[in-house]
Amino acid sequence: METIAKMRFMARIAVFAIGSLFVALGATTARADAWGKVYWTDTGNDNIRRANLDGSDVEVLVTGVNWPLGLALDPVGGKMYWTNGISVSKISRANLDGTGVEDLLTGMADPRGIALDVAAGKMYFSSEDNDLIRRANLDGTGIETILSNVPFCTDLDLDLTAGKIYWTDIQTGFGDGTISRANLDGTGRETLLAAPGAPGNWFYPVGIELDVAAGKMYWADSQADLICRANLDGSGLEEFSLRPPADPSPTDIALDPVAGKIYWTNTVDNQGVWRAKMDSSLSDRESIVSTGMYYPSAIAVIPALDPGGIDVTPLAYHSDLMLDPPTPNPVTVRTFFRFASRRAGRVTLDVYDVRGRSVARVASSAAADGSTRIVEWAPVKVPSGIYFAVLRSGSESISRKVIIAD
């Protein structure tokens, strides 16, 4: 009892310290009702929608958006960003509930993919008509070109830990697409995957998203009707067919590594929003939204985690998995995690950002004997901000909030 009381006291101190840090930094967080949501664009109906992660409570957030092809979320800043293609060719943003719409950039030559580096105050986006990848400040100022000769770039994502940008392009549109990466400033460009050697020697990659902690990238192939997975260097290719039906045409994907789920949009047969487990076969595939849409396109997920809260449950209250809050927290140079598991099978400890993107795998072991383990994590090149450490074994998980400070 004395130990538990002491832990409760230390937890109260941790909450006070974190709250003081937020006040000092003037940090803002999204409303609680923005968490645990899947967002997507409907290019046929010119709107942006969201629903709960199981597809319930669908809302139309923004209407009158012309051909929205790219979507990126900033949960902590409470904003969503999207690209408007075809004749409008602009980049806009709004609050996560759809209010406060503002145009940031116009005359962008058919912008498509978009990704955010919130810590650095940057957005990255592709311009399909002039084969460029560019970046700008989050308010649209300071625009610069970082990559040229990127024919028909369909989507992009960032590995902020390694300082890399990944993108998909379809080249001529006749199965000769590529997946490439470069440094965030555009240097060090390299092609990771290209046809032939890609799925079926026909390669039409569209959406891409990274699971950095697991060392994996995922993408959709809308012509071969595949969701694919590979190592971050392009090796270890895996293909998951979405047929039957004959022509689902997946357009974009989004990952929720915290819950172990992958989401995607189908634009033709079985049209709508789908999800599955991020396991060896993408099992338990299910349609979660299937009505009221015409050409669903870009998709993004905010995991069911609230950055305003912190798990302070004492270790003794968890029967199978135990994870202490990191010490120290906030983290400046390094921190330590204490954990244990009584579940059969492998246990993993991963760190995610508030968007659910994996940042690092801290530990992976067969720790089913209930013994306590302590691991050290030094967040090298990880921007300051709010993160979550998730200890997982099978279907059970427990999370702790991590603050990385300058």
pLDDT at 85: 82
How far apart are alpha carbons 176 and 37 in whole angstroms? 35
Q: Is the peptide bond before 244 cis (omega within 30 degrees of 0)?
A: yes
Q: Which helix (H) or strand (E) holds 7?
A: helix 2-25
Q: How far apart are the first and last CA of the chain?
A: 36
pLDDT at 373: 80
Neighbours of 266 (CB within 10 A): 24
Q: What are phi and psi of 238, to 5 degrees?
A: -125, 140
The C-alpha torsion from 181 through 186 and 187 to 188, rounded to 10°, is: 0
Q: Concatenated DSSP letters for 135-195? A: EEETTS-S-EEEE---TTEEEEEEETTTTEEEEEE-TTSSSB-EEEEEETTS-S-EEEEES
Q: 32-302: which CATH topology? A: Neuraminidase (2.120.10)
HSE-up of residue 175 (Cα within 13 Å, Cβ side):
11
Query: What is the separation of C-alpha 261 from the centre of its chain, rounded to a whole number of angstroms?
Result: 11
Q: 2-28+310-404: which CATH topology? A: Immunoglobulin-like (2.60.40)
Q: Residue 284's closest CA among 272, 275, 293? A: 275
How far apart are alpha carbons 202 and 21 in whole angstroms? 51
How far apart are alpha carbons 349 and 399 in whole angstroms? 9
Residue corresponding to tokens 């026909």: 202
User: Which letter does DSSP use for residue 327 in this model?
Assistant: B
Per-domain residue ranges for the chain?
2-28+310-404, 32-302
Structure tokens at 122: 């940057």
- Calculate ∠ Cα 198-202-205, nearest 5°: 70
The C-alpha torsion from 63 through 67 and 69 to 75, rounded to 10°, is: -10
406 residues of the chain, pLDDT tens digit each? 333 333 332 333 333 333 333 322 233 334 556 778 999 999 999 999 999 999 999 999 999 998 899 999 988 788 999 999 877 889 999 999 999 999 999 988 889 999 998 878 899 999 988 899 999 999 999 999 999 999 999 999 999 878 899 999 988 777 789 999 999 999 999 999 987 655 556 788 999 999 887 889 999 999 889 999 999 999 999 999 998 877 899 999 999 887 889 999 999 888 999 999 999 999 999 999 999 889 999 999 988 764 444 344 444 445 678 888 898 889 988 888 888 888 777 888 999 988 888 888 898 876 566 677 888 888 888 888 889 998 888 777 888 889 998 7
The model's pTM is 0.77
How far apart are alpha carbons 361 and 17 in whole angstroms? 26
pLDDT at 192: 96
